[in-house]
Structure 1
Amino acid sequence: MLELRNVDKVYGSRGKPPVHAVRALDMDVPSGEIVALLGSSGCGKTSTLRMIAGFEEVTSGSIALGRRQIHRLPPAQRKVAMAFEGYSLYPPLTVRENIAFALKAQQLPRSEVTRRVDAIARLVEIDDILDSYPRAISGGQQQRVSLARALVRDADLYLLDEPMGQLEPQLRAVLRGRIKGLLAERGMTAIFVTHDQAEASALADRIAVMEDGILQQFASEKDLKNHPANLFVASFIGEPPMNLLQAEVARNDGGFGLSVGPDLVFQIRGDTLDKAAQKELEGSARLTVGIRPQKVAVGSGDVRLRVVSNQWLGDQSHIAGECAGKLLIAVTPQRIAARPDDVVPFAMESRHLHIFAGDGTCIHHAEAA
């Protein structure tokens, strides 16, 4: 079990204001779980990884691994293996020697070292360059060497910083499956940093969404999509992201009317809301409603959408259009015959709405699909 308690990281620089990179981070990662740190550039995910590894000091808070407090230990004593985004390979050593370096330090038999190196090299498809030097191989190959060097070790925790960012899409897809299988088969605990939602979804059991140094939500991909904690998660998770619209609130018999515009009004029954959500709606004049693009039905309905763009992606249409002065995105598996400036019917059901309070907190989730 990895436990982070109230972890802060502040970078100081002479003549410049301090940068608060990570703020009061609390996180528990059970043994055998694979976790993704997901967020935009500069959100604090790499700083978090480096504090766990010991390459950055913790400004405040604590980090424990397997009941050992490790945040004051040097990296070599933490039993943590890390694959760096910048590779950090040893130039004088061959690929084989780079991967075997930590194993030789453990004084394992030569046959065991060879077996392990050969196995992990085959898994990440670098077995044909084992006798090459880092300067003679490509950036994508160097990245796989760094990944192999981490995964070949015996460690309590594996940290992977953008582990496949330099790989071509086809190879990346293959290696995701292989690495996921390796981690799961051996019950390895792993945390990896990525900005790629597809990679996070493919590899991780849970995803920690970060922004501005703050953990926004820590949950499975399904929960992040169906139960976003706030506006940031709702707008960040999903491709395309959730449609978010400002709505005026009006009380009516049995519930509330949420008006995005004269032609787009949602009716919410009071008995579908919990007490906290009802109280928030009763005290609000305006708030934000959200609906996933996949829940915007194009081709039927009483509301009209003026098409701005219509893209067929081979298996689905992405349609952007204007309604009530707002831009909406719809995704449908059907090919829609509509050109820019065409007006098409569409519908959005109230049961598919997420409702967000003034502070951005989600107070009501859409019905489960």
Structure 2
Amino acid sequence: MSTTTDPIALTQRLIACPSVTPADAGAMAVIEAALTGIGFTVHRFAAGEAPDGPVENLFATRGEGGTHLAFAGHSDVVPPGPGWTSDPFTATIRGDLLYGRGAVDMKGAVAAFIAAAARVPDHDGTISLIITGDEEGPATFGTVALMDWMAERGIRPDLILVGEPTSSARLGDMIKIGRRGSVNMWIEVPGTQGHVAYPHLAQNPIPPLVAALNELAALTLDEGTDWFQPSNLQITDLHVGNGATNVIPGGARARINIRFNDLHRGEALVARVREIVARHTPDATVTAKISGEAFLTPPGALSEMVSAAIHRITGLTPELSTSGGTSDARFLSKLCPVVEFGLTNATMHKLDEAVALADLEALTEIYVEIIRSACA
């Protein structure tokens, strides 16, 4: 079996590239060589500048007209950290598992889709790959830049499959048909520094900040929907930095994160938080960054096609879920129906990240079924 059609060998070559966001470290060259060898036209470009860039991006296409199925993924990985049993960037097989950073998130899925495309050389319609090097980072110069590049050329897929590791206990037990939105907010409350014995000459910023945080923490944003769990607000940081026991601090700050379902929009949540904070401390500032809005691809033709492919190979009927964190599907959902399906996620971002060899082959065959169904 050639490297192109063998997902294990291709995964090993990708793992060997230490592509910690935003570094590419040769990963896109490996993908480009594999794709050009099976008839794809490959376009690559870099976007952005340090410290969040430059980011390498790739768009590849084969065929024309008909249904356009796009596979979206990323070649970047999170830092491995210390404590691995073997070199995280040397793909190592021990028993039935392949170890290495990115094995499941998500170099294994990228390799599986390329191998699947190699096994379906003749098809109707159009197949493309949308691959970024910025999914694990700020996501500023990756998929968004690719979408702009595609829009300038009038490229718009009909269906998008994102290869994130969505499976839970077994390959094929879950696909994602939506994701919650996410917004981070930084709250800064000014005060007036002074001696604790003379509080009338100072203004302590901590009590109003704590009062605001208590109200925010007690919020019930919603009760959830048919497809989404309830939205939730979490306080993720509280900082004063006062090293003295006899000084009222001159400022205090906190950070919150809200993961929200499709009953909300990010800006409306930011406005609500600002209103609550202002009632407790009018001089406070609230700075927000919306990482992505919630989206849902209602169950339909795409999820049915992916589910049927999974069932044919594994015998499982996957759960349709919107759980988990954000992914680049939050951007791609603006183009067309999107679902996410990939390897099991038990070891993603962990020490000794690993994928079962059998799962790589099974995922490839599932992707083969999806290509054949979409581009029959």
Superposed pair shares fold, TM > 0.5: no
Larger RCO, structure (CA 8 Å, separation 6 or more): 2
Specify which structure has the higher proportion of strand: 1
TM-score for both structures, normalised by structure 2: 0.24
**Structure exhibiting the larger radius of gyration computed from Cα positions:** 1
